[in-house]
Amino acid sequence: MTDRGTFSNAAASVTAGGAAQAALHEAAAAATRSHFGHEVFVRAVVEVSNFCRENCTYCGMRRDQRGLARFRARHDSLAEMLIHHRPASVTDVNIQSGEDPVVVREVVLPLIRTLQRETPLGISVCLGTLDSALYDELRDSGASIYIMKFECAVPARYTAVRAPGTLAERLAHIRLLADSGWKVSSGFIAGLPGQEPSEMAAALELAGTLPLHGCSVSPFIPGEETPLRGTPPANPDWVFNCMAALRLGRPDWVIPAVSALNLTEKDGYRRGLRAGANLVTINLTPEELQADYVIYKRDRFIMTEARVLDAISAEGLTPSRQGLADFYARTVPAAAPVELAALTT
């Protein structure tokens, strides 16, 4: 989908409070229900490696983190679990890792081929910046969705947090993926240290210019073993306002409720579903590996099947029978975006 969304007056949406915030979130929820009904997509995630060649200051798996026990999961054990023991509600799986080309070749590619042969699962990957030949090999093996986040919209901020390469290079990879047949989902971090609402509004506007089918908003949580430890976490209201603005700017997009929302406040995950999210993720990473896949904290809030299904039910929603990859393959032209200014004045 390449139609540009409407994100004018996005800065006012980010900081909306009181009645304006309530109207913003209600409109986002209504837009989600209008476009997707009361169903939400249910995806599993398996985290296959915490090796990473990047050094992002906000991530606990960064290259310079010497105290982390590094691992690469085994293809055969992941395949056995996903083929024979996955939850019945799961229609898709996201294979995720630190930026580790070794695991892509040794684990991810064989796993994709096995799942393509043995299951009806749609396959997403979140593997960082790779070369075009490897992107093609992943797609040809059976993956169809690539998740590549642009993290923030200001080049100087991108450089300051040591995100991969440069912002221009990251955006070029997003466009390359879309041009080569991938359905691309992206995302950004809300509440990075020093980040003003205008920067979050710029991220919304940037997302609207990219050839995306989905986008996430992740709250900044200071990682315990990162250079940003001790800095303030994101303002939860701004995070959820960004999600609502994203939904109103692009009512046709798939917007995930990321597990970190529950680190912003107690009912953060459910609040995300009320602010426009329509994708939930069950973590199926083997328990013995979960503690070492550290983005923020070792005591991660793991979204188990029970927690995900309880959150869906509590919000009056149901798991979608249609898979995410199948939905993307059948996507109709984008719905007209809503003008945010009318909801924040």
CA 201 – CA 184 distance, rounded (Å) = 21
Token digits of residue 74: 């085994």
Q: Which residue has tokens 């395949």?
A: 79
Phi, psi of 87 (to 5 degrees): -60, 145
Residue-range domains of the chain with CATH: 10-344 (3.20.20.70)
Q: What is the model's pTM? A: 0.93
Burial class (CB in 10 A: 0-12, 13-18, 19+), 168: exposed
CA 146 – CA 131 distance, rounded (Å) = 13
Tell me how far apart the terminal alpha carbons of the chain are, to the nearest angstrom.
29
Token digits of residue 110: 């064989």
Phi, psi of 191 (to 5 degrees): 95, 20
- Rounded-to-5 percentages of helix, strand, coil across the chain: 40, 15, 45
Q: How many CB atoms lie within 10 A of CB 316?
A: 9
Of 314, 318, 288, 316, which is closest to residue 302 (Cα–Cα)?
288
The helix or strand, by DSSP H or E, that contains position 123, with its residue range, turns out to be strand 122-126
pLDDT tens over the chain, length 345 residues: 333 446 767 878 999 999 999 999 999 999 999 999 999 999 999 999 999 999 999 999 999 999 899 999 999 999 999 999 999 999 999 999 999 999 999 999 999 999 999 999 999 999 999 999 999 999 999 999 999 999 999 999 999 999 999 999 999 999 999 999 999 999 999 999 999 999 999 999 999 999 999 999 999 999 888 999 999 999 999 999 999 999 999 999 999 999 999 998 889 999 999 999 999 999 999 998 988 898 877 767 889 999 999 999 999 999 999 999 999 998 744 444 445 544 443
Contacts of 214 (CB under 8 A, 6+ apart): 185, 186, 253, 254, 255, 256, 279
